[in-house]
Amino acid sequence: MTVLELCETARAAAARMAAASSEAKSGLLNCLADLLLFRSADILAANCRDVDDAEMNGITEVMVDRLLLTEGRIASMADAVRAVAALDDPIGIIEGGVTRPNGLRIINKRVPLGVVAIIYESRPNVTVDIAALCLKAGNSVVLRGGKEAINSNMMLVQLIKEALSACGFSEDTVGLVTDTSRESARQLMEMTGYVDLLIPRGGKALIDSTFRNAKVPVIETGAGNCHVYIDEHADIEMGLRIAENAKVQRPSVCNAAETLLVHSAVAEVFLPKLFERIGDRVEFRADERAKAAIPDASEATEDDWHTEFLDYILAVRVVDSVEEAVRHIAKYGTRHSEAIVTQDIKNADYFLENIDAAAVYLNASTRFTDGEEFGLSAEVGISTSKLHARGPMGLKALTTTKTVVIGSGQIRG
């Protein structure tokens, strides 16, 4: 199908999905979870083709890991789908109301968005997470993944369609754009009248392109130039654990730390210890003062402070105050996730109040910015926008409200 045909059929299927009962939607998702496990061999075979192509094309080890599926990861996908199935259904919930002096009853009722489109990269598990959330929220969804995962995505969407058909829903409720050219992405960005919300989930280039070209409503997600600031009053051992986890635990994701800021009062102690701890895995790119504490680091450039590496690379700068750390983050950050490690209440309060980000942390790793970790189950992305939704976007973020007004013959004078 063309992009237009996918959007037309998704729009036609949206009304049926919006009217589905909670029980029907949960049954659909549990059926999908069963299929994922039962057909895991087919999924792995398709994914193997993607991984082989990626390795032949010289894709980095970190990015291949984003692409790779295993029996364990498929089981985790199925568990995530079941978790979404078990969530309370937000559709139909009354969110406040009022009776006016003229007798009109005004009620705000939660309803589906309609057709949600997602443009995303690399990770095939995103295909299932997004589809599950959109379906539970009563939406149709049009998916446009990256070329690296095309075989995996085609197989996963085939299974989603099989589940839809088995449960009495239209297979057109979920569509996949199989043309992975830039042109297909541009076309999806222009589907006014068909797409109610477009969510780009990927690197900075994808997000910037979407905001430049989209004619449909867009939520900014994903780009994560995240920082960890080690304050002069930090517990050094705690800071080492947090910095290591934020950078190394999974560097290819948007909530991994890309820049480390260290107060000058503790830099000579902290930085050599951190380098000893992770220097065999991570390339340090340091400013002049940080390099004095870790001579084996390479010299940081201005571009490094702006860069979301998504790799085993860490930019390091020494600062003289929490205020300077906040100024650095305000200049270079992407308003995603920022952390301070400190035992000083005043500095902690200053950081938490003055950082403008979707998530701000005190004495914890930025790696927790995640729908599941926040108790939302799966997520469609992490919004760095301020309108409609901010932070991990779970089920409720895929709905909107309708105002229902009940009268008894009132007219306006």
Q: Are residues 173 and 251 in the same domain?
A: no
pLDDT at 291: 96
User: CA torsion sign, 156 to 74 to 378 to 22?
Assistant: positive
Residue 362 lies in a domain: yes
Maximum distance among all alpha carbons in the chain? Answer: 80
Residue with tokens 């890991």: 65
**343/319 same-domain check:** yes
Assess whether 201 and 265 both reside in one domain. Answer: no
Beta strands in 68-204 (DSSP E): 94-99, 105-112, 115-120, 140-144, 174-176, 197-201
CA distance 157 to 175: 7
Q: Please report whether residue 379 resides in a domain.
A: no
The pLDDT assigned to 63 comes to: 81
Report d(CA 146, CA 142) in Å as an integer: 13
In the prediction, which pLDDT does 222 show? Answer: 66
Q: Indicate the pLDDT class of residue 388, thresholds 50, 70 and 90.
A: confident
Same domain, 243 and 191: no
Q: Are residues 180 and 289 in the same domain?
A: no
CB atoms within 10 A of CB 363: 15
- C-beta of residue 229 within 8 angstroms of C-beta of residue 351: yes
Q: Looking at the 3D structure of the chain, how many domains does it have?
A: 2
For residues 271 and 203, state if they share a domain.
Answer: no
CATH number for the domain that contains residue 358: 3.40.309.10
Beta bridge mates, 106: 98, 405
Q: CA 225 to CA 308: how far, in whole Å?
A: 5
Q: Which residue has the tokens 């949206």?
A: 14
The two counts, helices (H) then strands (E), for the chain are 15, 16
| Band (122; pLDDT cuts 50, 70, 90) | confident
Based on the fold, state whether residues 264 and 232 are members of the same structural domain: yes
Could you list the residue range(s) of the whole structural domain that residue 99 is in?
3-221+402-406
Q: Is residue 388 part of a domain?
A: no
Q: Do 50 and 157 fall within a single domain? A: yes
306 CB-contact burial (10 Å; exposed 0-12 / middle 13-18 / buried 19+): middle
Residues 185 and 233 in one domain: no
Same domain for 210 and 282, yes or no, is: no
Residue 377 has pLDDT above 80, yes or no: no
| pLDDT exceeds 80 at position 93 | yes
pLDDT digits (tens, 9 = 90+) for 325-374: 999 999 999 999 999 999 999 999 999 999 999 999 999 999 999 888 88
Q: Are residues 158 and 10 in the same domain?
A: yes
Report if residue 384 sits inside a domain.
no
Integer angstrom CA distances of residue 386 from 159, 189, 215, 220, 356 = 35, 20, 19, 9, 10
pLDDT above 90 covers a percentage of the chain that reads 83
Judge whether 127 lies within some domain: yes
Radius of gyration of the chain (CA): 23
Predicted pLDDT at 27: 98
Q: Is 104 exposed, middle or buried (0-12, 13-18, 19+ CB in 10 A)?
A: middle
| pLDDT surpasses 90 at 202 | no
Q: How far apart are CA 296 and CA 317, in angstroms?
A: 15
Question: What CATH number is given to the structural domain containing 112?
Answer: 3.40.605.10
Q: How far apart are CA 408 and CA 103, in angstroms?
A: 8
**pLDDT digits 0-9 by tens, 220-259:** 776 789 999 999 999 999 999 999 999 999 998 899 999 9
Tell me: do 191 and 250 sit in the same domain.
Answer: no
